Amino acid sequence: MTKNSSVSLSALRAFLLASCVTPCAVDAAPAAAAAVQPKLVLVMVVDGLPNEQLLRYRDQFGQGGFRRLLEQGAWYSNAHQAHGITVTAIGHSAVLTGAYPYQHGVVGNNWLDPVTRKSVYCTEDTNYTYIGERTEASDGTAPTLLRVDTLGDQLRYASGNQSKVVAVSGKDRGAILLAGKTGTAYMYMDQSGNFASSSYYMKAHPEWVQRYQATRPQDRYYGKSWTPLLADSAYAKDAAELPTGSGAPRATFPFNYYSDSGKLDAEYYGRLKSGPYLDQLTLDFARAAVEGENLGANASGVPDVLGVSLSAHDYVNHAYGPESRMSHDHLQRLDRMLANFFSYLDKRIGMDNVVVVLTADHGFANTAEFSQAQHLDAQRIDSKKLMAALDQHLSDKFKVGKLIAGSLMPNVQLDYALIEQNGLKRDEVENAAARYLLGQGGIAQVYTRSQLEAGNVPHTRMSTLMQRAWHRQISGDLMLVTRPYWYFGSGSGTTHGSPYAYDTNVPLVLMGSRWIKPGAQGQYAEVVDIAPTLAHLLRVRPPAAAEGRVLQEALR
């Protein structure tokens, strides 16, 4: 190599290094920003919010609530609670475990114990009581029956328990199943209107909770009314009042909050749940928790998690349907509440230090009357009559006594001991039951224990969702699926719980200016993806049973 060529190579190296300075510096900035952990992860679950409602009313939202999430966050239009029994407890369990029921063990709000045949509530544990409040045996006081850990548990493990995980909800299961094993849950008390924790978490409330309870914020709504927020023309597309004789509550404003006794009592505090004031109280307590626990400003410099489950929308939709003016107005009011809460966090922590997740535990079917008016095949199914008829059919066919040991829809338990005593084969009885049920109105599919244990189910999405929802040790021996727009129940209102899109398709929005790329995402996503995604951002291991994916396309 000549001297000149050596000089030329040196010059080339210098040129390449110089030309790299600007792009290298630019590329390093996002990498450095991405390495910064959020100070607070805010996980919000709106109980009973179908994704379609978020879209249907989008143009009426203000600037700072749902609209802010949709415009500044990554929003998934095709996100689902991807299990076949879509109820509150299962949906909340999915959010921060990243797991399906067949692993996390919460197979319903209630289920039948396979040995005692008694109803088990998802968060009951008689070893613990509410702090300073009356506690019934079936009240939710602990996460004992949740068989896996959560993102919050992993964050506390990684930080040596210095990260704080707090969850608050209008329902005990909403708070407990977000708080996980090592967080702290606070829930609304029907008898007093307080938010309280249980002895599972602590012996006595901290001072900030005692100070908050002493102000009695729940009493300020006595004698007040819930009236429409917007002009009448804004509700023109909502369903008309339900027909006379439907048995449903009259869809009529105003709704008044009082007690027949004229006093502040359990009747009044119970009424507060079916309307916007419960959600306002929940957010007020969440604000008190941020200040009382100094969330987002942890002295150890580690991230904190705040879970907020807003329960009132579920109560409103159950009573009147997601097509109603009440549901419409409640969502508009919730939008304004969220805007105020985000504004508060902006001032206290700075929203550029916060990652927000918004989702729901399940969607909702329209009321049967509304669906019928849309020329859809829709009915309510009286499960007691259906089970009585099935029991009689099996008794007549096999010439034995009562073969149905119990039922809590969509699960049915068979008396296998009686089956064996009479020399019958389990699968023959299961199949006979399934054939009979499929011949009854409104039943689309029946899965048997023999099928589910062997994984011998059709290769359909419905079967996948139902298999995920079935737990070998505690689920029933038959699992029923209604036809679309049919549901179990009698009387008024509507419900949820099916594997159909109106029950599974829920909002999934992530917002955080340093970590999340804004924009609509058309990819399929599941609620179980939330925990692995947050684990990735927080640089902690995912919960043990998590099966979701990291939503990489939404990350900066």
Q: Which residues have CB under 8 Å from 548's CB, separation 6+?
A: 98, 526, 527, 528, 529, 530, 531, 532, 533
Closest to 332 in 3D by CA, of 25, 57, 102: 57
Residue type, 139: D
88 is catalytic: yes
The first and second tokens of residue 219, run together, are 């009493």
Phi, psi at residue 331, to the nearest 5°?
-65, -35
Rounded CA separation 257/271 (Å):
6
The first and second tokens of residue 275, run together, are 């309307």
Structural contact between residues 110 and 120, judged by C-beta atoms closer than 8 angstroms: yes
Rounded CA separation 309/96 (Å):
13
Structural contact between residues 312 and 88, judged by C-beta atoms closer than 8 angstroms: no
Rounded CA separation 100/82 (Å):
8
**Alpha-carbon distances, residue 243 vs 233, 319, 363, 492 (angstroms):** 21, 14, 24, 11
Active site residue: 22, 86, 88, 448, which one? Answer: 88
Angle (nearest 5°) at CA 173 between 215 and 265: 40
**Alpha-carbon distances, residue 172 vs 87, 175, 230, 398 (angstroms):** 14, 5, 32, 44
Residue type, 144: T
Q: Mind telling me the catalytic residues?
A: 88
